[in-house]
A = this chain, B = another copy of it.
Amino acid sequence: MNIYDIAEMAGVSIATVSRVVNGSSKVSEKTKNKVLKVIEEAGYTPNVFAQGLGLNTMHTIGILVPTISDLYMSSAVSYLEEGLHNIGYDCILSCSGYHATEKDSHLQMLLSKRIDALILVGSTYAGSEDKSHNTDYIRRASEEIPVFLLNGIIEGENIYCTASNDYQATFDATRRLIEDGRRRILFMTDSRSYSANQKKKGYIDALAAMGEKVDPDMEIFIKNDVDYVRKSFGQYDDLRYNAVLATDDAMAIGVLKYLTDRSVAVPKDISIIGYNNSSLCVCTTPELTSIDNKVKLVATQTIERLEEVLHGEKMVAGKNVVACELIERGTTAFSDMDPRR
């Protein structure tokens, strides 16, 4: 009889058994009573095991990302790992991809480790408005341990979200383009995630607020790959766009390369704004204007909140929003700025 058997018999993770044994407040009364009942019936002496296993002190956080090869994700994980290390926690990393069943199975793997909390990186975990992406698996996890979500907002007890304000960022960028005389603005995305939807909503609301027509043809769903966009973008010539707002820098650069190949003047004839303010932005000619979604700030605030929650702080808000910033470079030339590059 050991902690794994108790966990199995109670239908919870060993982390939950650990928490019950150690009197953590992060377990619901219902779960706690279920586990204590199993422990009692089994004649289990938890403290000896728990202390022997060092369950109180594993100090390990599970991090789930769709992929680590993405520039945004690797930055986020880098800041998270550094922050966790500084407060004495190690991290177990798992890359789930973007499919629902894989996300769930990777999450279950992490829960089966002795993790103190779970961090989900990227809005893919927050589902989308069309309900096909279910987020119940996250709420189930949050019954066992606190769950932290980066760049997505979902509701639930023991779930703590920190997201950049993508809605406001695309709203402001779109308005800025319109004020600058660009009224044919293409919106490009590769995702229907929570954050992609926020970005699209900001774009549409800004068009409406400025009295511009909202044209669904101007919303383009395309692969986030420089070469792919560059080679296939000719199909949108008929749209006679004079500005492009992309939800990732790579897409925006694909358009810039396409236009440069055809000697179209950027930003004179067409303005381009990317997203994430990645290291790619300074590589292009002209350099790419991009929305900085403050990945470092989102990550460090997540760690601060995680520390508060794990220290038993009760007043940590479930939702925390960080403002983005438009970083102006050579692919835009707004009239109120001094174009340096």
B81 near A77 with CB under 8 A, answer no
State the CA gap A91–B96 with chains docked (Å).
13
A52 and B4 in contact (CB under 8 A), knowing A82-B95, A95-B82? yes
Q: Which of B53, B77, B90 contacts A68 (CB 8 A)?
A: B77
Range of interface residues on chain A?
Answer: 35 or more
A227 near B52 with CB under 8 A, answer no
List 10 A-B residue pairs with CB atoms under 8 Å apart, sorted by A's residue number. Answer: A3-B52, A4-B54, A68-B81, A77-B93, A78-B95, A90-B92, A90-B109, A91-B92, A226-B283, A260-B285
B285 near A284 with CB under 8 A, answer yes
The answer to whether the Cβ of A279 comes within 8 Å of any Cβ in the partner chain is yes
Q: Which of A40-63 contact B (CB under 8 A)?
A: 52-54, 60, 63
Residue of chain B at shortest CB distance from A1: B52
In the assembled complex, which residues on chain B have CB atoms less than 8 Å from the CB atom of A4? 52, 54
Q: Which of A63-100 contact B (CB under 8 A)?
A: 63, 67-69, 71, 74-75, 77-78, 81-82, 85, 90-95
B226 near A2 with CB under 8 A, answer no
The answer to whether the Cβ of A253 comes within 8 Å of any Cβ in the partner chain is yes
A284 near B282 with CB under 8 A, answer no
Q: Which of B54, B109, B279 contacts A280 (CB 8 A)?
A: B279
A2 near B52 with CB under 8 A, answer yes
State the CA gap A54–B199 with chains docked (Å).
46
* Apart from A2-B53, A68-B74, A68-B81, 5 more pairs, CB < 8 Å: A67-B78, A71-B71, A90-B109, A91-B92, A284-B285
The answer to whether the Cβ of A182 comes within 8 Å of any Cβ in the partner chain is no
State the CA gap A69–B280 with chains docked (Å).
13
The answer to whether the Cβ of A26 comes within 8 Å of any Cβ in the partner chain is no
Residue of chain B at shortest CB distance from A230: B282
A93 near B95 with CB under 8 A, answer no
**Minimum distance in angstroms from A46 CB to a CB of chain B:** 13
Q: Which of B2, B68, B75, B279 contacts A78 (CB 8 A)?
A: B68
State the CA gap A280–B253 with chains docked (Å).
11
In the assembled complex, which residues on chain B have CB atoms less than 8 Å from the CB atom of A319? none
**Minimum distance in angstroms from A232 CB to a CB of chain B:** 15
The answer to whether the Cβ of A159 comes within 8 Å of any Cβ in the partner chain is no
A226 and B69 in contact (CB under 8 A), knowing A90-B92, A92-B91? no
The answer to whether the Cβ of A250 comes within 8 Å of any Cβ in the partner chain is yes
State the CA gap A280–B52 with chains docked (Å).
50
In the assembled complex, which residues on chain B have CB atoms less than 8 Å from the CB atom of A54? 4
In the assembled complex, which residues on chain B have CB atoms less than 8 Å from the CB atom of A260? 285
Residue of chain B at shortest CB distance from A63: B93
In the assembled complex, which residues on chain B have CB atoms less than 8 Å from the CB atom of A90? 92, 94, 109, 113
In the assembled complex, which residues on chain B have CB atoms less than 8 Å from the CB atom of A226? 279, 282-283
- B-contact 0/1 string along A2-21, CB 8 Å cutoff: 11100000000000000000
Q: Which of B2, B68, B284 contacts A284 (CB 8 A)?
A: B284
A94 near B69 with CB under 8 A, answer no
In the assembled complex, which residues on chain B have CB atoms less than 8 Å from the CB atom of A93? 63, 77, 81, 91-93
State the CA gap A197–B305 with chains docked (Å).
43
Residue of A2, A68, A77 with most partner-chain B CB within 10 A? A68
A94 near B81 with CB under 8 A, answer yes
State the CA gap A283–B226 with chains docked (Å).
8
